Chain A
């Protein structure tokens, strides 16, 4: 008997095998998705018109093969040696030449030696001939070489969006000079960086002489002026404290990062380190001791033996307590104590710390010193002068350098003049006030309200955008000038290389504005007869 086998009907799945899917869209057979995979390439990957892809690759492969046939890539590339046409003197190809110069800054021109290869500056190091700094520099000086080759530096002077030639800049300066000569500078204002250059000071004097009614203001976003301002208030003279840490055994620093930030830091850190270097435990008594009261964990704080945390705003009160304690321990009766007590009333700090610190300072008369950070208010610096007097430090561990009298308005004074609409022409030399002027001034609006703004700067920056004219500046390695170190030593600024771009040197700009006939900076500097 033939048994009947009922073949089960094949279901769809068994014909095609199990159905795999890669996404839920595919599983539910979304029509949009179907359309998408059919096109093979997603939108955007459009096909080459005329040539199809396979054909294109075929041709490319053939041309690569043909290029390889000659083995051009394996050949040695031809290099040239290009000697001078006429070899200049004192240039030995491959041997660097070093030039002495200095890096200008607001208070301290650091003496440097610049390594140059075929007159291209390549590296800056301190000039060891200047013994207080012993051949050291700070990070700003080190990095300043990069500015020279900065692709963002301004390469051309401009009026609005149009570049103007050097000749037009000369005319512009000449016109300003002529225009304001008759009005004695009425309506003319300057805003400049601070500078240590005696030559610049001389030209500024000349500008003030011929334009007596103009305003000359100087501004640094971070300045170190307060100790000097305090000295002028107390003694009627500009004096600059100079610390001698080689002679100092006890140091109290009030929020002063004198090893890393304050001007003179290079000398300070060398001197400080000398008093720390001892050979064995017997010499330990020769070491100095540093008390640091600060708001920020600074480099100096890291060296401190005793460190007290205190916010910057509380330093004035702390200084008051310090004076009170000093007077008490020296048994001096003074009405000052009562007054200071009021100031310090709501400071909550460890009285024991102050007591011990003062005792230690007093135990080393003439060998201890107190210093305060330049950002602290003038009152603190006044008290510090007094404290150093009580400690017999003045003249021993801290001396005072006479600074030539030189007066400049502040940016706030200038702001008032601008607000009154009395300024027609504003000349901004360096800086970048639109970016970093005190916010309360609303500098951008003030600057916009002036008829004609001339900006002399190294970068075409926020201030230049808002100016009528931008005059391109040279780098200091392309300029003649002079300056002073923090202790007043005169140092040169000399060029290593012709300006890479059409730029103007600061001294020349000022001299042209002052109408000086020989505006060549080298001549101007030479006139000082060093």
Chain B
């Protein structure tokens, strides 16, 4: 009787196993790279209704974050300024600039400016700005160098790993409370940071939650 299967078919099982292994590896690598917050979020830079430029207002004009994000040290939510805040200056400076038309319209009609949200933690995560900002955690750690951004983008991954990295050793990130809003501040050296950080963590009894219920309430 003739062979039903030709000889070359002997190697098929091996080929299948190798192909399956390769596909699995490709999928895993692909997912870890492409399907994580680090890839999906970092760099997210939507077009805003008003081309507000942080670098101009902060770096050049020297404004403090709290002039606009007024309640960042008092609330879990960091507010985006109302149109009246912009109009404090812009009813004199660049009064007729077309770029500012939506602000003027909002100011006169009472309707809000629809800023596009950039940073967003999922609903199952509890986050609080005031707790961090009042304990010497700078905006820089979580939002990057906003003061140099012409258009704000998602600079850090905000994944769970990102949060935990700091919660596990806050001494590497903590800084004097009066330097929180100064995004240009730098420790003299890494050792200096650790010495200072350890002291602050000890003195202020800083104790970031690492248990799941700390963030997933």
Contact = CB atoms under 8 A, between A and B. Distances in A.
Nearest to B76: A94
A342 interface: no
B84 A95 contact: no
B71 A83 contact: no
28 contacts: A76-B40, A76-B44, A78-B116, A78-B117, A80-B114, A80-B115, A80-B116, A82-B112, A82-B113, A83-B81, A85-B84, A85-B106, A85-B111, A86-B82, A86-B83, A86-B107, A87-B79, A87-B82, A87-B84, A92-B75, A92-B79, A93-B71, A93-B75, A93-B79, A94-B71, A94-B79, A95-B71, A95-B76
Contacts of A86: 82-84, 107, 110
B74 A84 contact: no
B112 to A, nearest CB: 4
B112 A85 contact: yes
Contacts of B111: 85
B107 A85 contact: yes
B115 A84 contact: no
Interface of A: 76, 78-87, 92-95
Nearest to B77: A94
The prevalent SS among residues of B at the interface is loop
A292 to B, nearest CB: 42
Contacts of A80: 114-117
A80 B106 CA distance: 15
Q: Which 6 A-B pairs have the closest CB atoms?
A: A94-B77, A94-B75, A82-B112, A87-B82, A79-B117, A80-B114
Contact of A81 (B40, B71, B107, B115): B115
Contact of A93 (B46, B77, B85, B116): B77
B115 A85 contact: no
Contact of A85 (B74, B82, B116, B117): B82
B112 A78 contact: no
A95 B72 CA distance: 11
Interface of B: 40-41, 44, 46, 70-71, 74-77, 79-85, 106-107, 109-117, 120
A40 to B, nearest CB: 41
The prevalent SS among residues of A at the interface is loop
Contacts of B115: 80-83
A305 B215 CA distance: 47
A9 to B, nearest CB: 39
Contacts of B120: 79
A81 B76 CA distance: 15
A458 B154 CA distance: 49
A122 to B, nearest CB: 15
A95 to B, nearest CB: 5
A92 B116 contact: no
B43 to A, nearest CB: 12
A501 B84 CA distance: 29
A82 B111 CA distance: 9
A161 B215 CA distance: 52
A82 B113 CA distance: 6
Contacts of B85: 87
B172 to A, nearest CB: 28
B74 A92 contact: yes
A75 B33 CA distance: 17
Contacts of A83: 79-83, 112-113, 115
